[in-house]
Amino acid sequence: MSRSARPARMAVVSPHAHIHAEPGVDPHAPKGTNLVVNEIYASIQGESTYAGLPCVFVRLTACNLRCSWCDSEFSFYEGTRRTVDEVVAEVERFGLPLVEVTGGEPLLQPGVHPLMTRLADRGYRVLLETSGSLDISPVDPRVIRIIDVKCPASGESARNRWQNMEQLRPTDELKFVIADRADYEWARGEVRARELAKRCTVLFGPVWNRVEPQQLAAWILEDKLPVRFQIQLHKYVWAPDARGV
């Protein structure tokens, strides 16, 4: 994961920041017609309760947060303007039933909603990975929302939108990325105080090269915490900084 200094926050995509339009895409089309897509690829799902399953990933460009341990900073600025139709067609070419829409922060782009609805209409199981800093209530109810709750070491814990916890469904998932003991104790406190494990599956995973998986597992066992331990499987199968996997 990147250890570089955090750049300034950027809530929207600059039209000049490593973005070009595919032929036939109108960059001035109404909101919801176009998306800025960083990459689309098939891999093994590395996290969540769907870990280990073949999955198509649609990574959208831009993020409103700058987590200290972010491993996808390339998604902040790089992207291609695509229509929703084009994205759906590319997903269909992979022939896999599971799709994750991720980022960056995918909810920054209005077009993500028609994209997820179109995919769900076609029978895909759709996962959305979001920071939870934005309102999740407009998301199609068929979509499984995986919220990355920001712990203090991320530098972005003040941006957690706790109102989203009231919107959770049993099919949703909460993910806490743990960088140190202080993060663990903070996350443990939130899980207990808010009774989050009664709302949906809660995932605890270590920041790569910051906390040993064995250590985090030991903490969870010692506290008998009702959470699911996870690691980022893709970083063990491929190089930790590999893209498109």
* Interatomic CA distance for residues 46 and 53, integer angstroms: 8
Q: What are 118-142's pLDDT values in tens digits?
A: 999 999 999 999 999 999 999 999 9
For 156, the domain range is 30-237
Whose structure tokens read 């998301």?
139
Q: Which stretch of 13-22, 149-158, 172-181 has the lowest confidence by average pLDDT?
A: 13-22
Look at the chain and report how many structural domains it folds into.
Answer: 1
Asked whether residue 67 is assigned to any structural domain, the reply reads yes
In a domain? residue 221: yes
Does any domain span residue 243?
Answer: no
DSSP state of 10: B
Choice among 64-68, 175-179, 185-189, 202-206 with the minimum mean pLDDT: 64-68
pLDDT higher than 70, residue 16: no
Residue 241: other Cβ atoms inside 10 A: 10
Answer for the pair 164, 147: CB distance below 8 angstroms, yes or no.
Answer: yes
Q: Read off the pLDDT of residues 29-56 as tens digits, 9 standing for 90 and up.
A: 555 669 999 999 999 999 999 999 999 9
What is the Cα–Cα distance from 47 to 234, expressed in whole angstroms?
Answer: 8
Judged against a pLDDT cut of 60, whether residue 23 lies above it is answered with: no
Q: Please indicate, yes or no, if residue 19 is contained in any of the structural domains.
A: no
122 domain-assigned: yes
pTM to 2 decimals? 0.86
Looking at residue 15, the DSSP 8-state letter turns out to be T
User: What is the predicted pLDDT for the residue at 243?
Assistant: 72
Burial string for 130-168 (b: 16+ CB within 10 Å, else e) reads bbbbbebeebbeebbbbbbbbbbbbbbbebbbeebbebb
CATH number of the domain enclosing 154 = 3.20.20.70
